[in-house]
Amino acid sequence: MKDALIEQLKDEIRYEFSREGPPEGFPKFPDIPGGRYTDSDFFDLEMQELWPRTWLFAGRQEELPEIGSYWLFESLPNTPIVLVRDADMRIRAFRNESPNQAPLVPWRDDSDLRTEVEFDAPGRLFRQQHFSRRTLPEGMLRCQRRGWCYDTNGELVSIPFGEELDAIPYEYRKLTEYRCEVWAGWIFVNQDPDAMPLLDWLGPIARQMAQFQGENLRLFEKDSVVISCNWKVTVEAFQEVYHFKHIHQKEGVTMLDQRGATMGLFPHGHSRMVTPITKRAASVSGMEDPLDWKPGGGMMRGFGSMGPIPEIETVVPMVNCTSTAFSIFPNLITPVGATGMPFLLCWPIDVGHTLFEWVTFMNDWGSDDDPAIVEMRANRLHERTIVMEEDTRNMTPMQKSLDSPGLIGIPVSYQERRIWHCAETLDRVIGPERIPEDLRLPQLLEPYLEN
């Protein structure tokens, strides 16, 4: 992250502390229609037009360590995808379905998967640590119904004895392949063959997150929970900072000052939020003031930085001295730290239920058997369970409010403009002409985007 941008962010925070209202000329947002969170037809539009045409996080490259390694991407409903290392060590994404509608690899194949599971409360928090080393038998994707075999390029290469290869129609001879690209070790897939390249789509996100050296990070742990709310309720809970003072305070004390939070809006629905710490927190941490972003300072030391995991040397001091988070449209939020970050992922199950995943990536920690790492994992599970419960406790009640026939709409303020940014981007991807007029949003924020 360049020095000029860091100074710009400091100026923006100073402005946020000084302002007494929205900037002059900033558009006033109408209320967001509640039907966008409850209407089954609108949900169907999202499933048909949004998710198949957007780059989605699907895994890490180290989960596919060798030729023939595979990984099942199961988070998005009705989208069976298998990621495979081909003979050239390229990662490819195929629909996990042969042309005769049979799966290529079993949905539940844990024979080579080490899994640890814990429930914090019945049906509430589900912890799974994946160390995937699954490899295709004989390097082939095999139709589970007919036994047809496809190579890692998706080409039909053999059929069971007694069937004639020449008799198989041409359209059955190749698997459905999706776009698959890797950014800093993170695998993204897109079902749209005409989608722009991943790095072009990420834009400023990729440049500003380069400091974390994602290609050198390792998958540390995974958690997930099903929440009874629309997926956008979950995403939007992390797009504003008002809630921090009320949800995450301890005995009335919070370390963040939401009044100074500054938002960056990027093309394609992505965004950034930087929130300064309070004067009290700055004083305790040895900082002269909340904008004294110097090496070695700050209370926001990142996930695990006080433990055995070394900090990433290229991370700028701002990260330790603020709460900094990036959002990747439509469903990924990452609050970054000096030792790594979690990816918070919100996947639609149906109009009123969300799969919320917490996938953590950390700087190289060495051996998993290191007693300090074992202890850290146990401590983090307890601490993170508390934070996750705080973040999610209001989401189901919020959905109940949205379902109320008395709800007129959802007001959004200037400081919550990341929420509006995502919502209007959603409309553009779907196509405003496809959206009923009473659920459509005006496009207001293009003049405020950063490139």
pLDDT at position 225 is 87
User: How many domains is the chain built from?
Assistant: 2
H or E, element range at 377: helix 371-392
Task: Read off the pLDDT of residues 25-47 as tens digits, 9 standing for 90 and up.
Answer: 999 999 999 999 999 999 999 99
Higher pLDDT, 447 or 379: 447
Q: What is the mean pLDDT of the chain?
A: 86
pLDDT-derived band at 154 (thresholds 50, 70, 90) equals very high
H or E, element range at 341: strand 340-350
Are residues 41 and 72 located together in one domain of the fold?
A: no
Q: What mean pLDDT do residues 346-358 have?
A: 94
Are residues 286 and 183 located together in one domain of the fold?
A: no
CATH number, position 89 = 2.102.10.10
Q: What mean pLDDT do residues 111-118 have?
A: 40
- 93 occurs within a structural domain: yes
SS3 labels along 218-271? EEEEEEEEEECCCHHHHHHCCCCCHHHHHHCCECCECCECHHHCEEEECHHHCE
- 122 occurs within a structural domain: no
- 118 occurs within a structural domain: no
Task: For Cα atoms 164, 170, 173, give the angle at the middle one, nearest 5 degrees.
Answer: 75
Are residues 190 and 259 located together in one domain of the fold?
A: no
pLDDT at position 131 is 40
- Residues with Cβ < 8 Å from 69, sequence gap 6 or more? 63, 84, 85, 132, 133, 134, 135, 136
Domain that holds residue 187: 56-109+133-194
- 119 occurs within a structural domain: no
Task: Read off the pLDDT of residues 296-323 as tens digits, 9 standing for 90 and up.
Answer: 777 654 333 457 889 999 999 999 999 9
Higher pLDDT, 101 or 220: 220
- 121 occurs within a structural domain: no
- 116 occurs within a structural domain: no
Q: What percent of the chain has pLDDT over 70?
A: 85
Q: What mean pLDDT do residues 243-268 have?
A: 77
Q: Does residue 132 carry a pLDDT above 70? A: no
Task: For Cα atoms 117, 120, 125, give the angle at the middle one, nearest 5 degrees.
Answer: 75
pLDDT-derived band at 127 (thresholds 50, 70, 90) equals very low
Are residues 427 and 324 located together in one domain of the fold?
A: yes
Q: Does residue 174 carry a pLDDT above 60? A: yes
Are residues 292 and 181 located together in one domain of the fold?
A: no
SS3 labels along 84-141? EECCCCCEEEEECCCCCCCCCCCCCCCCCEEEEEEECCCCCCEEEEEEECCECHHHCE
pLDDT at position 137 is 80
Spatial contact of 175 and 95, defined as CB atoms under 8 Å apart: yes
Task: Read off the pLDDT of residues 354-399 as tens digits, 9 standing for 90 and up.
Answer: 999 999 999 998 888 888 888 887 777 666 666 666 777 788 888 9
pLDDT at position 119 is 37
